Each structure stands twice: as structure tokens, then as C-alpha cells.
Chains A and B, each alone.
Chain A
Amino acid sequence: MEEAGKQTTVTKWSLTKNSFIAFKKDWQLYSLIILPVIYLLIFKYLPMIGNIIAFRRFIPGGSIFGEEWVGLYYFKMFLSDPTFYKVFSNTLILAFWLLLITFPAPILFALLLNELKNQLFKRFVQTASYLPHFFSVVVVAGIVFEFVAINGPLNSLIEFLGGNRINFIQLPEWFRTIFISSELWQGLGWGAILYLAALTGINEELYEAARIDGANRWQQTIHITIPGILPTIVILLILNIGNFLAIGFEKVLLLYNPLTYETADVIATYVYRVGLESGSFSYSTAIGLFESIVGLILVFGANYLSRRLTDTSLW
């Protein structure tokens, strides 16, 4: 590297020349990437630049980059908007409980599956548990509505046990429970796949050795199984923390209603309503940009911490 540094000009020139030769020889390979790159520039990077309307006044039908600079006007606006604090804290609370419950559950599920001796039964449990993952979020919302409906099976069970029927879907105090349960229902089996893969990768000899040392199954789990899947746990935890704020927005949009806004309204749904229903494009973009940047900081932060503490990281 030191050597190369001294010969910058020469290297640079030969690099361009090499690139040119490589390109001429292999133009077909390079020609393939043109369309996907143009696609990415227009449909992914252009909207990123489009976030500039958070700092500019936007007129529907005008330029997609807005008309004139207004500085931090829209950011000051949402910082003095009480609803913003409400949806921000709703997002944090929902995200916190979601992570706390839906992150460890698939790990436990995979560990339980791993203890099964009968492979046929194991397959059956897996096949059944993956199914809800493939349902459209609209169908899942429909299933939730029917399940917790006033005349639905859950209320029939409550009545059977001597309680009164509850109109769950209209009560703000039940929204988080319903939402998190539905996420758990849909994601438990699917979330366990990577852990199951990691579990099959653990060297059988480690267990042999532990048994000879007199370790029981519980001790084997603590000292061999868990450390064996720890890298997978860490990687998925980083990804989860990175997506901390990106709560299943489409599902919230389907499951909530004005009666449950108090607990159900999150940043993304607020952005949707303020932006697309009320037409305040710049204002809602400012809130959305705030959320994206916090998300980005969370990914890099979690990755950095993990690299320092556990030597496992995404990059």
C-alpha cells in the first residue's frame, strides 16, 4: 500500500487504462448493469433527494424538489406540534414491546423444536407455523378483526369462562396487545428459520464431550447450544434495532381507527395522514425524514456497538 501511494500518478493512469481495456473486453457484462442502475437512481435515490422538500415549500403539481427554501421551518413546526410527541412516544412504546416480545420468541421456539426427536412431527410444526407469514397483511388484518370481534371466537371463550364480551378493536388500551399478538402470530415460525439453520450447524462432538463430562441437557443448552447460535442472535438483533422504528406500518393503518389513535397512531401513520390525506407534503416529509435519520443512526450505532462488544457485525 505504501509503495502504491508513492506512484499515484502512474497507478491512476494505468488504472484508467486497465478499466478501459476491461470494459472493452467485457462490455456485455457492463451493459447488463445499466438498466438496474438507472432504475435504482430514479426510484430509490431520486426520492432520497426528494426529501429536500422538507426544507423547501412544495406546491402539488410543481417541481418535485419544491419551490423555495424555507430552512428549518417545517422541523420547528413539528417540534411544536403536540401530536408529534404523542405519535413519537407511541412509536417508541410499541417498538419497545414489539422487540421485547417478538425478538426472543422465535429463539425459544427454535430451541423447543430442536429438542424434538421425531423429525416428522418437527416438520409438521414448522410447516404449520410458517403459514401465516405468507398471508397478505390485508388478510391478516381481516383475520384479526374476526378473531377479536364482539361475536368472534375470543369473546365466546371469554363469555364461556364467565366474563363479559369486550369490543377490543375500539378500545385504545387493547391496541398494543392486539398488534403485538398478531405480529407474533405471523412471525413466530418464520423468525425461527435462521436459528434452526444455525442449530444444525453446531458440531455434534461438542455435545458428546459434554455428555461424557456429565452435563445434563439443560447444561448442554446453556453452554453449547446458546453460544452456538449467538452470532445469529446478534446479527438479527442488529437488524431488528435498525428497523426499530419501522413498525409494520401497513398493518397499523389497517388495524387502527380514530377511536384507538391515542395508542395506535405512530409516526408513519401520522406522516401518511398529514401528507396524503391532508396534503401537507413538506411538513410530513420533515417528520418522515426525522424518522429515517433516527433509523439510520440506530443501524450504524447497533452495528458499531456489536462490533466492539461481540466481534459480530453486519459490515
Chain B
Amino acid sequence: MKESWQYKTFRVFNVTILLLIVFATLFPFFNIVAQSFSSESYINAGEISLWPKGFNTETYQVILSDSMFWINYKNTVVYTVVGTLISLVLSTMIAYPLSKKRLKGRNFLTMFFVFTMFFSGGLIPNYVLITSLGFGNKIWAIVIPSAISVFNMLIMRTFFQNIPDELEEAAVMDGSSTYGILFKIVLPLSKPILATMMLFYAVGHWNSWFPAFIYFSEKELFPVSIYLRNLIKGAEASYGTGATNADNITQIASNIKAVTMVLTVLPILLVYPYIQKYFVTGVMLGSVKG
């Protein structure tokens, strides 16, 4: 096939534009990484772009020796693990029955869930409910209100629907109960979607900060996102033992922020190459109407 000169020009232009987009996407993040290894004087002089200047790892040492950072980081891990487990169990419990045509009231139940995507109680009624349940300063305030994402649940339901009925019918002949079918046949066949859902929920819980922000007042319970939030909003926070006086604090503040940001996204970056395809398939499944 012959290409016109216009199309050839366009293709050169296209590759250039896309490279610029990639650069613009990655630059702000790489700049933070470079800052995290730079000394503050170069940062203040505005000299850091993609490569550290005055290379040092002191700021990492300061943050990593701050006990509050570790406490908060560990909290995030715990909230993420517990939250993801609860989300997975609850989502499976509703997605599986809704995937069965024989379930009476299936359409009504689906609407009952989908409606919450378009209308919600709003900030204040939710706050009043959660606090009056006594969830303040408790892990439940973080993991329960966001336990079921209807969007994720619909993706799971679509996947379950596509499992051939014959497999389950054969198990019924052998005398398996619904629970037996779910655990022995459906769930083992659903490993790809369970992995996708696990990642969807885990990333969501890892990145969450607002519930902890409004429901938690004890520093020892904060997730690392609040630790970071307090740093970047300049609120009073523990800057670690490395900073002994006020001058030192303001001096290393910019580094500190950069280091904390890098450490906060590090787990996401480490799994990113593996999870990317799961996320993409998940979104594609979700787009199938059903």
C-alpha cells in the first residue's frame, strides 16, 4: 500500500507528539525522584530537573529512622490487607448470586445496587452514621464504607456469567451444594478476575486518605497517606529525629516531601508492570453491558 506524503508527514508528527506526551507524563514524577536524592540547596535554587544534584541518601535515612513513618506505613499495609479481604468476600457473595438467571428478583437486586452509583447519602449523613456507629479511630471507618464497589461487582458478575453452565450442572449431578460449586468449581476458574479485583481494591485501599483524615485523630493510627498529606500541607507533623531545630526542618522539608512521596508510591511502582494488564482486562470486562 502506498502512503501519501501527507500521511508520512503526519506519522512523523504523530510519533513526536506521543513522545512529548510520554515525557510530560513521566517528567513530574522523575523530578520528584531526582529531588529525593538531591541536597536542599540545589532544590531551592530550582536546579533539579531529571538528575539529582548534590547526591545524598540522608533524607531517606531521616525518614526511614522516623518511627512514626514506620507505624503509619505498617497501618497502611494492615488497612490494605484487611480492606481488600473484606471487599473480595462481600463482592463475591453478591456477584455470584446475581450472575444466576434463576435467582428470583435478580433485576431488582441489581438495580438496588446500581442505584447507589448515581445517588449517595453525601458527606455529612455518612459522617454522622459512621461516627454514631462508634467507628471513629477504628479500622472499620476506613475499610467498611468502601467495601463494595458496585462497578467492580458488575465486572465480577459479568465474568461469572460467562462460566459455562454445563460445568456447574455436572457438579449438581454429583450432588454438590451451591457452596461446594462456588468453592470447588467457580472460584478456581475465576482466578484471573479474583486477581484483578484484588488489585483494584488493594490499590484503592493503599491510596485512600480521606476517611482516615475525617475519622481518625490519633497519629498512631494514621495511614502513611495522612503522614504525607500533613507534610505537603505543611501541617505540624513529625519530621523525624534528624531535624533538631526549626532551621533544619524548613531546610530539609522539600526533600522530605519528595522522599515520602517516593516511598508511598514504591509498592505501586513495584507491582505496576505486573498489574497493568489485569487492570486493562478488568476495565474491558466492565465495559461489556450485561
Contacts and interface: CB of A to CB of B under 8 A. Distances in A.
Contacts of B121: 44, 46-51
A224 interface: no
A226 interface: no
Contacts of A272: 123
Contacts of B97: 29-30, 32-33
Contacts of A139: 207, 228, 261, 264-265
B283 A193 contact: yes
Contact of B118 (A45, A194, A268, A299): A299
B233 interface: yes
B258 interface: yes
Given A36-B93, A53-B124, A284-B124, 20 more contacts: A39-B90, A43-B147, A48-B119, A50-B121, A50-B125, A64-B125, A64-B128, A112-B18, A121-B15, A125-B22, A127-B276, A138-B228, A141-B229, A146-B258, A150-B46, A153-B48, A217-B4, A232-B287, A275-B123, A276-B214
> What are the nearest 10 A-B pairs in CB distance?
A47-B121, A50-B125, A136-B207, A28-B178, A36-B94, A288-B122, A151-B46, A47-B125, A156-B46, A44-B116
Interface residues of B, number: 93
Contacts of A121: 15, 18
Interface in A269-302: 271-272, 275-276, 281, 284-285, 288-289, 291-292, 295-296, 299
Interface of B: 1, 4, 6-7, 10-11, 14-15, 17-18, 21-22, 24-29, 31-32, 35, 43-49, 90-91, 93-94, 96-98, 100, 102-104, 109, 112-113, 116, 118-129, 132, 144-145, 147-148, 177-179, 182, 203, 206-210, 214, 225, 228-229, 231-233, 254, 257-258, 260-261, 264-265, 268, 272-273, 276, 279-280, 283-284, 287
Is chain B's binding surface mostly helix, strand, loop or mixed?
helix
B24 A185 contact: yes
A276 B22 contact: no
A281 B206 contact: no
Interface string A34-46: 0111011011111
A32 B32 CA distance: 47
A87 interface: no
Contacts of B206: 136
A23 interface: yes
B118 A22 contact: no
B118 A242 contact: yes
Contacts of B147: 39, 43
Contacts of B31: 146-147, 152-153
Nearest to A109: B21
A70 interface: no
Contact of A53 (B29, B98, B128, B225): B128
A146 B124 contact: no
A223 interface: no
A185 B25 contact: yes
A181 to B, nearest CB: 10
Contacts of B132: 64
B124 A275 contact: yes
B178 A134 contact: no
B148 A143 contact: no
Nearest to A34: B93
Contact of A132 (B25, B91, B103, B254): B25
A64 B131 CA distance: 10
Contact of B145 (A43, A49, A143, A295): A43
B269 to A, nearest CB: 8
A68 interface: no
A131 B102 contact: no
Contact of A44 (B27, B28, B46, B120): B120
A143 B209 contact: no
Interface residues of A, number: 93
5 contacts: A28-B178, A48-B121, A136-B264, A194-B284, A284-B124
A217 to B, nearest CB: 5
A47 B264 CA distance: 32
A254 B233 contact: yes
Contact of B148 (A40, A147, A150): A40
From B14, B206, B232, B276, residue with most partner A Cβ within 10 Å: B232
Nearest to A51: B125
Nearest to B34: A153
B93 A125 contact: no
A227 B279 CA distance: 27
Nearest to A268: B123
Nearest to A160: B46
A135 interface: yes
B258 A151 contact: no
A125 B1 contact: no
B127 A275 contact: yes
A132 B17 CA distance: 19
Interface string A212-226: 000011000000000
A32 B11 CA distance: 54
Contacts of A150: 46
B93 A194 contact: no
